[in-house]
Structure 1
Amino acid sequence: MDMMPILSSLKKRRVATGLVVAQIALCCAVLCNLLSIIGERVGRMQRESGVDEEHVVVLQVAGGTVNDDAAAIARGDIATIQALPGVVAVSASSLVPFANGAWNNVVNISQGQPLPNLSASTYMGGEQLVNALGLDIVAGRDFLPGEFVDWGARGPGGESSPLPSAIITRAVAEELFPGRSAVGEVVYSIGDTPLHVVGVVERLVRARDGGSLVDYQHSILLPARLPYEGFARYVIRVKDPADRERVLEAAGSAVLENHQGRVIVRQYTKTLQELRQDYYRKDRAMVLLLVTFCIALLTVAALGIVGLASFWVTQRTRQIGVRRALGATRTDIVRYFQTENFLLSSAGIVLGMLFAYAINRWLMDAYEMSRLSLAYLPAGALVIWLLGQVAVLLPARRAAAVPPAMATRNAL
């Protein structure tokens, strides 16, 4: 199709053309950033935790008078839960993914270094911690029975029991020891304590990731039996997912009988899948809100294109009639308006991409948002192009449906 008539027509309507291009540019800029935020939130919700979520439940208890041996209470709880039918493994744990708890420690490769290498969630637990979480060890081994210490126990001189070893995630291993095996290496954490790395797990999400896409798999496991000191979190892995609710109910009743005066913290006594759902509730609400805003934005833009295209069709009735009289088909008329809209959309998209980066830079500085991915620019452009073509189709078909003689007569 000859582009000169289209460009000439747009040149005569500079103000209207400029407004349409500006509207499309603003729509494209906002849409690209919204798609980026939505994609980031969805990606965060879909992260793999590394835990066997389908088979893991969490029991949290609190309260009670701890006049007895705190370590003995914890041992009694674990033995009672382990004896329940359907339980594969159980362990007290300092952290649980998606439970809104956070205990982070620096992990270094040299003792006493001034700047830390990284910060990692610190999971402490007893002999069955790795099995209870259902973690996949990809290098090295699990903790040996002799490596576990009673956390909080003091020696004759009042010193804390030293932790001999650690298991780290693959993400931590690759960052601290790139290009070589981490098993057998020494890392320093929790008061600059030397820890021998005995194993590497595929992944274990930070108990509270904070939305970061960089370090959410920075976690470390330590062999420490946790005493009951007014609070305990037990990770229970069941054989059959259908038994999760039954095991939770039975485990809760059992530990309350084991030591009087305690209560079940219902907010965090759930399956791990339920904890994940609760943890990402705000993210899901944000995604729904942003999707709704995108739909509203595109609807307003489409209505603007339809209104302006209808107005231009009315103004160019005579031009349409003449083109029809000279042999232009209905398809030619429709294609004319679609091509015109494509040119306007393309100009708006080019400006919109520049605006999108400007908005993203502002969001990064003001709200610590992540950088806009280049993948969202063509996605936003495609949506705007399709929107423009669909929005202009009705006015274009209405123009093409006017008989040539009637169009010319009405224009005279």
Structure 2
Amino acid sequence: MIQHLIKLIWNRKGSHLLLIIEIWASFMVLFGVMSLVTFNLDNYRESLGFEYEQVWAIDLSRNQDTVQTAEKLAQVLQRIKAYPEVEKVSQMSSNSPFSFSQMNSSISRKKTSTLSDIYYTDENFEDVFDIKMKSGRWYQSSDSVAKNKPVVINQKTADALFGTENPIGKTLDDNKVVVGVIDNFKAKGEFTKNEPAFFQLMWPRSEEGKIVLKLKSGTDANFEAKLVKDLGSMLVGWTVEVSYLTDQRQNQHNLALVPMIVFTIIAGFLLLNVAMGLFGILKVNIAKRREEIGVRRAMGATETDIQKQFVAEMWVIATFAILVGLLFAVQFPTLKVFDLASGVYWVAIVLAILIIYGLVTICAFYPSRQAAKIQPAIVLHES
């Protein structure tokens, strides 16, 4: 049966070649889209590792002011803490969660190293973002006088540097000691990978101009206006900008969602072209093969047999295109292209194959059903 179908398709290879190319192109685009979707969904299933609701970020740019910067920032922190609307407040480096600022460096221990995102924070950062400790503790301001600089790492960093070894109390290069380990910390949103993260206690009287604060429920934009006005009067010549982490999170989501939407639209147009091509080829084939269908019906073939034959022919055409596509697709998990997990590509391949076969089956169903209803007596009479 399969050999017969292949022979029929080969005899009409000229009319089927363009359709095979269209299905191949659709398969490759679907493979890319499904890889992107699978990658993002896998990331989305992992927790952020912190809470962002009711958290604001304040960017303080001193512009040309260089006089007593640390003292002014300390006064600002005390003023913010005094507001009844504020639950917790923390000073940190510019790369707050969901911001478009990033700091990274190679963290090493003996002969092992890993590229990690670096965050300089004070002791209140844990409370503002409600971070849960997996082991150990968060550093305190009193740790600043210790011989070794206290740091907190996430589990990703611990796995890279220590493997199965307990990192608490272990010393890193540059005289840093691990005092705590957290689980995930996905500062760029749910759709990003959980990258290595490294938190270090900033020195007292730091000049870092980023402040994050957690507010009580019900705090609205009226407090924002009051806050900006008060800080502006305290920091003459400075620029004060307030951002909601919920809005910044949505901006990060848009960066991940827009490419998926664009590629999905492209894949949709390609699949529409394939569907139209399938309908066209089947209608032409049925019109040209009415006599063949009539003879088969006269020899005892049922409507189901006729319908299955035309659907199977389309499946064989799709299989040719998919086999060519697989020659390219299997290179991605084999060579670990874009440094993605192999499982992402294999899932994408399976999904793309299922979508192609599903589309072919749906498109072939109605024309093949019409062919199956051809009456042998009428066809033979016409002949």
Q: In structure 2, what is the equivalent of residue 204 of structure 1?
A: 185
1:389 has 2:379 as partner: no
**Aligned with 1:262 (options 230, 238, 256):** 238
1:243 has 2:219 as partner: yes
Residues 378-387 or 43-52, more deviating: 43-52
2:159 maps to a residue whose letter is E
Q: How many aligned residue pairs are there? A: 380
Any conservation in 1 of the 2:116–2:197 contact (CA below 8 Å)? yes
Q: In structure 1, what is the equivalent of residue 61 of structure 2?
A: 62
Deviation at 1:184, TM superposition (A): 0.5
TM-score (norm 1): 0.82
Q: In structure 1, what is the equivalent of residue 49 of structure 2?
A: 50
Task: Go from structure 1 to structure 2 and tell me whether the alpha carbon gap of 1:204 and 1:318 turns closer, same or farther (over 3 Å shift).
Answer: same
**Aligned with 1:134 (options 130, 137, 143):** 130
Any conservation in 1 of the 2:153–2:178 contact (CA below 8 Å)? yes
Task: Go from structure 1 to structure 2 and tell me whether the alpha carbon gap of 1:233 and 1:207 turns closer, same or farther (over 3 Å shift).
Answer: farther
1:186 maps to a residue whose letter is T
Any conservation in 1 of the 2:33–2:260 contact (CA below 8 Å)? no
Task: Go from structure 1 to structure 2 and tell me whether the alpha carbon gap of 1:271 and 1:46 turns closer, same or farther (over 3 Å shift).
Answer: farther
2:199 maps to a residue whose letter is L
Deviation at 1:245, TM superposition (A): 4.1
* Structure 1: gaps (5+ residues): 150-160
Equivalent-residue separation in structure 2 for 1:348 and 1:97 (angstroms): 45
TM-score (norm 2): 0.88
Any conservation in 2 of the 1:57–1:248 contact (CA below 8 Å)? no
Deviation at 1:166, TM superposition (A): 0.7
Cα deviation 1:286-314 (Å, max 9, x = unaligned): 11110101101111111111111111111
- Aligned sequence identity (%): 20
Equivalent-residue separation in structure 1 for 2:43 and 2:104 (angstroms): 20
Q: Secondary structure at the match of 1:148?
A: helix
1:123 has 2:101 as partner: no
1:182 maps to a residue whose letter is P
Any conservation in 1 of the 2:57–2:211 contact (CA below 8 Å)? yes
Q: In structure 1, what is the equivalent of residue 100 of structure 2?
A: 100
1:290-301 map, 5 Å = 290-301=263-274
1:187 has 2:172 as partner: yes
Cα deviation 1:81-114 (Å, max 9, x = unaligned): 122223221111102022111222221113xx6x
Q: In structure 1, what is the equivalent of residue 90 of structure 2?
A: 91
Equivalent-residue separation in structure 1 for 2:358 and 2:66 (angstroms): 71
Task: Go from structure 1 to structure 2 and tell me whether the alpha carbon gap of 1:5 and 1:166 turns closer, same or farther (over 3 Å shift).
Answer: closer
Q: Secondary structure at the match of 2:109?
A: coil
1:200 maps to a residue whose letter is V
Task: Go from structure 1 to structure 2 and tell me whether the alpha carbon gap of 1:297 and 1:402 turns closer, same or farther (over 3 Å shift).
Answer: same
Deviation at 1:399, TM superposition (A): 1.5
**Aligned with 1:330 (options 293, 303, 315):** 303
Any conservation in 2 of the 1:122–1:221 contact (CA below 8 Å)? yes
Equivalent-residue separation in structure 2 for 1:303 and 1:359 (angstroms): 30
**Aligned with 2:199 (options 202, 221, 242):** 221
